[in-house]
Chain A
């Protein structure tokens, strides 16, 4: 996205739905509606203030119709861009464009999934690809495992370094009352867990939980009139590179190498300005790739960067302070929750896991099989 204005919009309301395991027959729309009500409460706006709805999930094709029917709202602008877990960062960029252009004023971005309750197979049926399906890759895990194999071959990244990402996430999760995982985790436990698709064990893979969330985005002028400290949208970037892993141009370089610079350029910031990173951790390899591609370490150095607890509490860089998709929550498409943690850090709402003086937080979303990459940089009032 180019042509958008730094700080023209802000996230003013943010809330999770109930997470983890919800009651039988709960629908994704129930979760989206619950999160919406909580997000409105968070910012003091009313349902009638919302004039744009952006959402996507995997359990039905026309999620926006279902959410608007449920809440009985008729938005002027709607968008169901579906590019996987990064869709919500893309929704935020699209909402910003619409708000800047005057097409709408208050946008709701929402998500919900009951994939744990109904089973992953039912929530997200695998699409048939005649050039991949016959070989029975366990998707998406095998696609990420193929990328990890290449990163290990090219750069010497080890299984232990991948495990460091999972161990760091768990240490953050233990400080988050909303996190699914409640027990400590060691590198040995990650390595010895059930193998899914080598080199990834079940502990290298994100959780399979129910869950959802909602954020409310509005113009900076409108944001100033509301009760919360806004999380200003300083920069956005989005890029897509492929659909299937066989067609990824370079297994060790994601399109975060495009979306990140777009967002940094718009925000007029650089990686060293960032106080907290919320990096979509679908698998342990992904934060390693994104740290490289977003410019936090040189290409190929991501494994060494995360070693020794560098991204754990007390480390060099605060990453995934919620506990991430690996230990906090991962309801299929996780990007909205990635942004909510970044918003909360900038608003100083994270309690025990709060990063001191967190003025700038970067939220990076990944979709498909490393297929789509979208970056949002949030800032406090001081950064405007």
Chain B
């Protein structure tokens, strides 16, 4: 077990962040990933091993915080492919356009004197230059072709097409950043999940309430009503994809295994 007089779980995690790596743990007793880092695993195991994540994940939940006098800020929960979940932020895109199910890749947000480095995420661009989600490609990027970068190839991929490790090392300086990518300037023109055939339409979040032409203004009087919904607040079918039926038997409706038997 970790000697807490030598080092703390967060201290070790931070050392990895400083080297550009997202670290997590695995409990050797049951093989389950563990995050946040700790000295005793959920369930009581004390044989915790540190691992480095490949940094690839999927947006599980997302919100946009409106602090007064600040631009809107994305806060998301990311499910890493290794099987753990963490809070983070998706950058390099309009915070309102972050979608549940979107594939993302980690990079280290650089530290300063007040705040050590911490992992953030950016949309994962495929080898073809389109951001990946549950289905096909991004409609805007596919028109543009591959994204530009400061140097030669795609900043996130080596020439062989395999992802570079980490995000806070040399790769980070090559990445063009949010202002460099031509498609990322088009705030408000992203068609939203209801318009794009490749994106799962299980719900309308956040598309049904946001018409793409209205931009990001939260207080625009018409901002929250998609034109196709008409004026009725109670239109029952407005945000339900026809293929979903009544939703009562949605696989997500079943009980999370960790909650045990109902009433137990």
Residues of A within 8 A of B (CB): 130-132, 134-138, 142, 145-150, 152-160, 163-164, 187-188, 191-192, 194-201, 241, 244-247, 249-253, 255, 257-258, 261-262, 264-265, 298-301, 304, 307-308
Cα(A192)–Cα(B223), bound, Å: 8
Cα(A341)–Cα(B77), bound, Å: 36
- Contacts A137-B87, A146-B63, A192-B221 known; 16 new A-B pairs at CB < 8 A: A136-B65, A146-B61, A149-B61, A149-B206, A155-B202, A155-B252, A159-B208, A195-B64, A201-B218, A244-B87, A265-B263, A298-B247, A299-B253, A299-B254, A301-B246, A308-B234
Please list 22 pairs of residues, one from A and one from B, whose beta carbons are closer than 8 Å in the complex, sorted by A's number.
A131-B35, A131-B86, A137-B75, A142-B63, A142-B65, A146-B62, A150-B61, A153-B205, A155-B202, A156-B203, A158-B238, A159-B208, A163-B233, A191-B209, A194-B219, A198-B65, A198-B96, A241-B259, A253-B255, A258-B264, A299-B250, A300-B253
Cα(A304)–Cα(B236), bound, Å: 8
Question: Which chain A residues lie closer than 8 Å to B204 at the CB level?
Answer: 152, 156, 158
Cβ-closest 4 pairs across A and B = A261-B263, A195-B218, A152-B205, A299-B253
Interface membership of B88, Cβ < 8 A: yes
Question: Which chain A residues lie closer than 8 Å to B224 at the CB level?
Answer: 159, 191-192
The residue among A148, A156, A159 with the most chain B CB atoms within 10 A of its own CB is A156
Cα(A146)–Cα(B234), bound, Å: 23
Question: Which chain B residues lie closer than 8 Å to A298 at the CB level?
Answer: 247-248, 253
Residue on A with the closest CB to B78?
A: A246
Question: Which chain A residues lie closer than 8 Å to B223 at the CB level?
Answer: 192
Interface membership of B66, Cβ < 8 A: yes
**Are the C-beta atoms of A300 and B88 separated by less than 8 Å?**
no
CB distance from B190 to the nearest CB of A (A): 15
CB distance from B38 to the nearest CB of A (A): 11
Residue on B with the closest CB to A295?
A: B262
Q: Which of A164, A198, A307 contacts B63 (CB 8 A)?
A: A198
Are A154 and B203 also in contact (CB < 8 A) when A197-B66, A198-B218 are?
yes
Interface membership of B115, Cβ < 8 A: yes
The residue among B61, B76, B247, B259 with the most chain A CB atoms within 10 A of its own CB is B61
Residue on A with the closest CB to B75?
A: A137
Cα(A179)–Cα(B204), bound, Å: 34
Interface residues of B in 235-264 (CB under 8 A from A): 236, 238-241, 244, 246-248, 250, 252-256, 258-260, 262-264
Question: Which chain A residues lie closer than 8 Å to B54 at the CB level?
Answer: none
Q: Which of A135, A164, A264, A265 contacts B75 (CB 8 A)?
A: A135
Q: Which of A148, A245, A307 contacts B234 (CB 8 A)?
A: A307
Interface membership of B225, Cβ < 8 A: yes
Cα(A197)–Cα(B66), bound, Å: 6
**Are the C-beta atoms of B219 and A192 separated by less than 8 Å?**
yes
**Are the C-beta atoms of B208 and A158 separated by less than 8 Å?**
yes
Interface membership of B60, Cβ < 8 A: yes
Q: How many contacting A-B pairs (Cβ < 8 A)?
A: 186
Question: Which chain A residues lie closer than 8 Å to B67 at the CB level?
Answer: 136, 138
Q: Interface 1/0s, chain B 36-77, versus A by CB < 8 A?
A: 100000000000000000000000111111110000110111
Q: Interface 1/0s, chain B 71-108, versus A by CB < 8 A?
A: 01101110000000111110000001000110000000
**Are the C-beta atoms of B75 and A146 separated by less than 8 Å?**
yes
Residue on A with the closest CB to B220?
A: A192
Cα(A197)–Cα(B206), bound, Å: 13
Residue on A with the closest CB to B254?
A: A299
CB distance from B110 to the nearest CB of A (A): 12
The residue among A135, A142, A152 with the most chain B CB atoms within 10 A of its own CB is A135
Q: Which of A156, A261, A264 contacts B239 (CB 8 A)?
A: A156
Residue on A with the closest CB to B241?
A: A156
**Are the C-beta atoms of A197 and B64 separated by less than 8 Å?**
yes
Q: Which of A150, A191, A197 contacts B225 (CB 8 A)?
A: A191
Question: Which chain B residues lie closer than 8 Å to A253 at the CB level?
Answer: 255-256, 259
**Are the C-beta atoms of A130 and B10 separated by less than 8 Å?**
yes
Q: Which of B73, B77, B247 contacts A300 (CB 8 A)?
A: B247
Residue on B with the closest CB to A308?
A: B234
CB distance from B15 to the nearest CB of A (A): 13
Question: Which chain B residues lie closer than 8 Å to A245 at the CB level?
Answer: 77, 87
CB distance from B183 to the nearest CB of A (A): 22
Are A150 and B115 also in contact (CB < 8 A) when A145-B63, A199-B209, A307-B236 are?
no
Q: Which of A154, A188, A192, A197 contacts B65 (CB 8 A)?
A: A197
CB distance from B94 to the nearest CB of A (A): 12
Cα(A159)–Cα(B118), bound, Å: 32
Question: Which chain A residues lie closer than 8 Å to B209 at the CB level?
Answer: 158-160, 191, 199
CB distance from A11 to the nearest CB of B (A): 25
Question: Which chain A residues lie closer than 8 Å to B205 at the CB level?
Answer: 149, 152-153, 199
Cα(A298)–Cα(B245), bound, Å: 14
Question: Which chain B residues lie closer than 8 Å to A164 at the CB level?
Answer: 233-234
Residue on B with the closest CB to A188?
A: B233
